[in-house]
Amino acid sequence: SSELTQDPAVSVALGQTVRITCQGDSLRSYYTSWYQQKPGQAPVLVIYGKNIRPSGIPDRFSGSSSGNTASLTITGAQAEDEADYYCNSRDNPWVFGGGTKLTVL
């Protein structure tokens, strides 16, 4: 199966914009989905498809994709956005990125 590569850790100042990226060959064929996971909790879907937010997800979360790279952008990061973020794609048959730990300073 293919792999999805994420930066292990990213930090952002409170109220600023941060981009979390995910790279992998499967992203050329399938849309990426993004999940937020806070300590001790189950993952929560935050973005899927062509920048679709499930009900209840703030509009500061957005997604984009180009070639083999997908991005999750948080515009105006809040303290409650501090979490681990995972990308995911359908590929033989499923693959997750290694996760990015987001710290809000």
Under the rule (CB under 8 A), what is the footprint of other proteins?
Answer: 1, 29-31, 33, 35, 37, 41-45, 48-49, 54, 86, 88-90, 93-99
When the beta carbons of 74 and 97 are compared against other proteins, the nearer one is: 97
Q: Rank residues 29 and 103 by Cβ distance to other proteins and give the closer one.
A: 29
Q: How far is the CB of 17 from other proteins (least distance, A)?
A: 24
- Cα-based angle 60, 76, 24 (whole degrees, multiple of 5): 60
Beta-strand relationship, 9-12 and 100-104: parallel
| Least spacing, CB of residue 90 vs other proteins, in Å | 4
Q: Which residue has the tokens 């941060």?
A: 18
Q: Give least dist CB 69 to other proteins, A.
A: 16
15: Cα separation from own chain's centroid: 18
The least CB distance from residue 74 to other proteins, in Å, is: 19
Number of H helices, E strands in the chain: 0, 10
Query: Which residue lies nearer to other proteins by CB, 76 or 101?
Result: 101
When the beta carbons of 19 and 101 are compared against other proteins, the nearer one is 101
Looking up tokens 């792999």 gives 3
Q: Cα–Cα distance between 4 and 28 in angstroms, integer?
A: 12
